Amino acid sequence: MRVAVIDYDVCKPHRCRIECVRFCPINKSGGKAIELRDELGGKPLIYENSCVGCGICVRKCPFEAITIVNLPDELEKKVIHRYGPNAFKLYGLPMPQSGKVVGILGKNGTGKTTSIRILAGELIPNLGNYDREASWDEVLQYFRGTELYDYFRKVVNKEIRIVHKIQHVDLIRKYVKGRVGEVLSRIDERGLLKEVRKSLSLDSAWDNKVGLLSGGELQRFAIAAAILRNASVYFFDEPSSYLDVRERLAMVRAIRELLPKNAYVIVAEHDLAILDYISDYVSIVYGEPGVYGIFSKIYAVGSGINHFLLGFLPAENMRIRKEPILFHIHAEAPNREVDTNLPYLSWPKIKKTLGKFELEVEGGMTYRGEVIGILGPNAIGKTTFIRLLAGELEPDEGHVVTEGLRVSYKPQYVKAEDYPWEYVEEAIEELSKEGLASSEWFQVDVIRKLGIHRLKERRINELSGGELQKFAITVALAKEADLYLFDEPSAFIDVEERLTVSKAIKKVCEVRKVVTFVVDHDLSIIDYIADRVMVFSGMPAVKGKAHSPVSLKDGMNAFLKDVGITFRRDPKTGRPRVNKPGSYLDREQKSKGEFYYVSA
């Protein structure tokens, strides 16, 4: 069985004169595996039944718009939905569990949101028959005799109520009017308004209009609205976006403690530590982004995440990644060469005032080849410090010695208009003319692994949030610089892409012997990438204090102590895991003052 997908946003038949059609061996022998179709705007259509999967059209396409994947024939029995001819195909669904939280883990573009929409009853799965109208009767017949039959029967008969916290919360601004407190009071069906307001720290936004909320406030508002609804099924699609570490943990506790005990709960999330913390079980979705996605069986959350990182699913006997992803095991810095005899960048005590906000930075120093992680809540001055290093802001007191240093800066909020190119291809060509960006390693491990090569024909102002983020990171890494600054590089991108970005940042820092600062709320990423960390504390939006860089162990320990949680190490992958509050390990580590983790 073959899955053929054509990215029609990339396909430019008038520029290549349809080489895929001309060179297809089936077409040349008098058959028909690929042809032009008027209803597709004069673009090619591949017939999967007659296609032999030779890959000639894939190689001939100058825009890399065609993907052909060979899959086992028996997998066709599990097809759930297809969007159209030569479009994305979904196999399998995660199985909701009554009274449990099921996490969904996988790459962007492999069907996480599609599966949620199907389970929420918003999209009727067509079982692969995209050429006719989908029917719930066919769906129920298909799932008869399985666990999902009873679930879908209740959905179809409206026996259960479903609440869906959408992925793109910014859309809420267009449809919800009024002030936060007024809106939440109207929809409070469970009498939990006070508890939700307190647990999600909504006091500061309570009297604000929904249309004026920041990203983090909007996310907390959406989560609060979902919890206050009286339902049997709750879906949360990427609930940690825009939230800092403390807010993410508060979100987890609110979902775990305030939802009905017998409810079905499904959460799609990219932050491994948060997914581990919130879920009882996990379903892994794997495949080729934009081409096909396959849902695994349900695993216990700890072993499921480990299987994902190690790249092998034992229940399916399926390898989903060539190389495992392993975190460094010991509590000290990662095993990389940092020359502590060569100070690279230093600064004295710095003060900066922006409106009513005051930032105080302790004096500090970095060394050649070092990655500094930056931790702290939102609105505490992390971005202000990065902008001071980038030279965008001048300190009121003190100074940063960056004179003569070339700086490459990926800001927190990326805008297409900030770049001088119209198309992604122009940027890649220009950046590849010199420096590390022209190396084979950079082309393979950054441009191709992040999928930038697939975006070559796209206009930069047409890229999605995740695509634009990956493009901005690639541009920043490709520049020859002495100092690299990344503000929230994990935003909008999936787990594997986050780890790919982390590897790329570490590699560039190592090869060029430069210093890199990384601000991020994903503790797994900071743990994976940082040699030392800077911890920011204080009162958000009022006063922040940036402490000098300290060891990864000491910095994370101080930060987690302030947050009130403890981390342990997974013995198989070395990844950090949040201990359940009040558990034996949580109490033991707190008694020892080891909030980060006990050394392996």
Q: Which 3-state string (H, E, C) describes 295-352?
A: EEEEEEHHHHHHHHHHCEECCCCEECCCCCCCCCCCCCCCCCCCEEEEEEEEECCEEE
What type of residue sits at position 139? V
- Are 228 and 192 in contact by the 8 Å Cβ rule? The answer is yes
CATH topology of domain 339-566: Rossmann fold (3.40.50)
Q: Measured in whole angstroms, how far is the alpha carbon of residue 104 from the centre of its chain?
A: 12
Please give the structure tokens belonging to residue 300.
Answer: 């216990």
Q: What is the pLDDT of residues 528-538, one digit of tens each?
A: 999 999 999 99
Please give the structure tokens belonging to residue 426.
Answer: 């122009």
Phi, psi values for residue 532, rounded to 5°: -140, 170
- Alpha-carbon Rg of the chain, whole angstroms? 25
Asked whether the CA dihedral 241, 242, 248, 252 is positive or negative, the reply is negative
pLDDT at 285: 97
Q: At what angle do helices 424-431 and 465-478 cross, to 10 degrees?
A: 20
Reported confidence tier of residue 342, pLDDT bands at 50, 70, 90: low
pLDDT at 333: 45
Bridge-based pairing of strands 318-319 and 532-539 is unpaired
Q: Residue 363 class from Cβ within 10 Å (0-12 exposed, 13-18 middle, 19+ buried)?
A: exposed
CATH 3.30.70.20 residue spans of the chain: 2-70
Cα separation, 22 vs 335, in Å, equals 52
Q: Is the pTM of this model over 0.85?
A: yes
pLDDT at residue 518 greater than cutoff 50: yes
Phi, psi values for residue 512, rounded to 5°: -90, -10
Reported confidence tier of residue 596, pLDDT bands at 50, 70, 90: confident
587-595 mean pLDDT: 92
Cα separation, 534 vs 548, in Å, equals 6
- Are 249 and 222 in contact by the 8 Å Cβ rule? The answer is no
With residue 238 as reference, give the H or E element that holds it: none
Residue 374 pairs with which residues in a beta bridge? 519, 534
Cα separation, 172 vs 195, in Å, equals 23
CATH 3.40.50.300 residue spans of the chain: 76-319, 339-566
pLDDT at 57: 96
**With pLDDT > 70 as the criterion, what percentage of the chain qualifies?**
96
Neighbouring CB atoms inside 10 A of 145's CB total 7
- Are 265 and 102 in contact by the 8 Å Cβ rule? The answer is yes
2-70 maps to which CATH number?
3.30.70.20
- Are 510 and 334 in contact by the 8 Å Cβ rule? The answer is no
Q: What is the pLDDT of residues 45-91, one digit of tens each?
A: 999 999 999 999 999 999 889 999 999 988 998 999 999 999 999 99
pLDDT at 337: 59
267-292 mean pLDDT: 96
- Are 424 and 452 in contact by the 8 Å Cβ rule? The answer is yes
Instruction: Say which residue the tokens 């084979």 belong to.
Output: 440
What type of residue sits at position 552? L
Q: Measured in whole angstroms, how far is the alpha carbon of residue 332 from the centre of its chain?
A: 27
Cα separation, 503 vs 489, in Å, equals 12
5-to-50, 466, 531 alpha-carbon distances in Å: 15, 21, 42
Cα separation, 182 vs 177, in Å, equals 10
Bridge-based pairing of strands 101-106 and 264-268 is parallel
**For residues 584, 589, 595 and 600, what is the CA-based torsion angle, rounded to 10 degrees?**
-100
Bridge-based pairing of strands 292-300 and 281-288 is antiparallel
Highest mean predicted confidence (pLDDT) among 184-188, 340-344, 345-349 = 184-188
Instruction: Give SS3 for 365.
Output: strand
CA geometry: angle at 494 spanning 66 and 583, to 5°? Answer: 150
- Are 300 and 283 in contact by the 8 Å Cβ rule? The answer is no
Instruction: Say which residue the tokens 């039959």 belong to.
Output: 149
Closest Cα partner for 274 from 498, 557, 23, 513? 498
- Are 258 and 192 in contact by the 8 Å Cβ rule? The answer is yes
- Are 88 and 5 in contact by the 8 Å Cβ rule? The answer is yes
Residue 234 pairs with which residues in a beta bridge? 163, 265
Of residues 268 and 399, more confidence is placed in 268
Asked whether the CA dihedral 145, 149, 150, 156 is positive or negative, the reply is negative
pLDDT at residue 335 greater than cutoff 60: no
In sequence order, the 6+-apart residues with CB closer than 8 A to the CB of 7 are 65, 66, 67, 290, 454
- Are 532 and 552 in contact by the 8 Å Cβ rule? The answer is yes
150-157 mean pLDDT: 96
Instruction: Give SS3 for 555.
Output: helix
Q: Residue 61 class from Cβ within 10 Å (0-12 exposed, 13-18 middle, 19+ buried)?
A: buried
Instruction: Give SS3 for 67.
Output: strand
Q: What is the pLDDT of residues 110-142, one digit of tens each?
A: 999 999 999 999 999 999 999 999 999 999 999
pLDDT at residue 600 greater than cutoff 80: no
Closest Cα partner for 525 from 546, 498, 504, 507? 498
Q: Residue 137 class from Cβ within 10 Å (0-12 exposed, 13-18 middle, 19+ buried)?
A: exposed
**What 8-state DSSP symbol labels residue 549?**
P
pLDDT at residue 334 greater than cutoff 60: no
Cα separation, 371 vs 510, in Å, equals 9
Please give the structure tokens belonging to residue 231.
Answer: 């339902």
**What 8-state DSSP symbol labels residue 583?**
S
Q: What is the pLDDT of residues 317-333, one digit of tens each?
A: 999 988 898 886 544 54
295-303 mean pLDDT: 96
pLDDT at 331: 45
76-319 maps to which CATH number?
3.40.50.300
- Are 451 and 443 in contact by the 8 Å Cβ rule? The answer is no
